[in-house]
Amino acid sequence: MRRGSFARELLRRPQGAFGVGWLALVVVAAVVSRFWIPLDPFDTDPYSAWLTPSLAHPFGTDSVGRDIFSYVFAATGTTVVVAVASGVVATVVGVGLAALGSLTARWVRESVAVLIDVLVAFPTLLIAMALAAAFGGSLTVVVVAVGIGYGVTIARVSRSEIRQVARTDYVLAARADGLGTASVLRRHVLPNIAPVFVVQLSLSMATSVLAEAGLSFLGYGAPADTASWGRLLSDLQKFIGVHPGSVVWPGLAITLTVLALNLLGDAVRDASDPRLRTTRRPTTDTHRLPTTPGVVS
C-alpha cells in the first residue's frame, strides 16, 4: 500500500477526519501552552469567583476566580505527555511480551502466553491504586499502570496476530525462497501487523486519558500544581450542588479526546483493510466489532 493512499483513505472517513482533526488541535494547544496561555490558570481572585462565561472568560471562572478556559488550555500539555508516555510504555511492554510469547523456545512461549492470559484480567485502575499505595499518587503512576495494564492487552492481540501471519503462505514462500527470520519479520510480518498495532496504540492512549482523569479525581493523579482535566473536575465537583454547569468544560475536553482516539483507532483499522475500500464515500455504518476497550475507568 502506498503511503499517500493510506492517509487519503483515513481522512476520507468521517471518523478518521474527526480523530485526526481534534487530536491535532489538542497537540497544537499543548505546544502553544508551553509559551502562551491567555490568563495564568493558577491566578486566584476572590472577587471574580463563579463568573458566567463571557468574552474575557469563555468558560467562566471557578470557586477561587481562576479562568477555566486558561486552565483547560494549560492542561492539554499534561494530557498529551501522559497519553504519549503511556502509549510508549504500553508498546514496549506489549512488544516485549509478544516477542517472548511467540518467537522463543516452546516452554518460554507457552508460559508467557499463560501469564498474559492471567494478567489481562487485571483492571488498570487497581494496578494504579496498588502503585499509589506504595509510591503515593503521581502522573508517573498513571503512566506505569496504563503501560502495564494495556501493554498486556497489546501483547495478547499482537501475539495472536504474529502467529497468524507467520503461518500464511506468503511467509512460507518467503522462507522457502531462503529469506532469514529478520528479513521475513521486517518485510512480511511487521507491515501486516502494523495496523492492528496502531489501533491498539490509540486505544491505550484513550485508556490513559480516562485513567488520568479517574485517578486525578480520586486525588492520586496530577499533583496540585499541575493543570489537569481530571483535577479540575475534582475541584469543581465540590461545588456541584451550587454551580453544576462549570463541570461541563473539563468533561467535554476529556470526552472529545477519548472519542477522537477511539474513532482514530476504528478509522485506521478500516482504512488499512483493502476489503473495506470502496470507490464510493464510506459510510459510518460499517458493522465490524467496535474496538473500544472494555476495562477503563
Task: Name the residues that contact other proteins, by CB under 8 A.
Answer: 114-115, 117-119, 121-126, 129-135, 206, 210, 213-214, 217-220, 230, 233, 237, 240-241, 244-245, 247-248, 250-251, 254-256, 258-259, 262-263, 283-285, 287-290, 292, 294-297
Measured in degrees and rounded to the nearest 5, phi and psi for residue 266 equal: -60, -45
Whether the CA torsion 71, 225, 39, 240 is positive or negative: it is positive
Nearer to other proteins, 91 or 297 (CB): 297
Nearer to other proteins, 65 or 123 (CB): 123
- The least CB distance from residue 43 to other proteins, in Å, is 25
What are the C-alpha distances in Å from 229 to residues 76, 208, 237, 285? Answer: 8, 13, 12, 32
Nearer to other proteins, 1 or 248 (CB): 248
Measured in degrees and rounded to the nearest 5, phi and psi for residue 13 equal: -85, 135
- The least CB distance from residue 36 to other proteins, in Å, is 28
DSSP H/E element including 101: helix 68-102
Task: Let me know: does 272 contact 196? Beta carbons within 8 Å.
Answer: no
Ramachandran category for residue 222: left, alpha or beta (phi over 0 → left; psi -120 to 50 → alpha): beta
- The least CB distance from residue 56 to other proteins, in Å, is 25
- The least CB distance from residue 3 to other proteins, in Å, is 28
Nearer to other proteins, 87 or 171 (CB): 87
- The least CB distance from residue 252 to other proteins, in Å, is 8
Return the residue matching grid coordinates 486558561: 70
> Residue 126 has what DSSP assignment?
H
What is the Cα–Cα distance from 106 to 96, expressed in whole angstroms? 16
Nearer to other proteins, 135 or 170 (CB): 135
* Residue of 47, 34, 39 lying closest to 78 (CA atoms): 34
Nearer to other proteins, 127 or 171 (CB): 127
> Residue 38 has what DSSP assignment?
S
Nearer to other proteins, 183 or 237 (CB): 237
- The least CB distance from residue 119 to other proteins, in Å, is 7
- The least CB distance from residue 197 to other proteins, in Å, is 20
Task: Let me know: does 198 contact 140? Beta carbons within 8 Å.
Answer: no
* Residue of 227, 247, 248 lying closest to 237 (CA atoms): 247
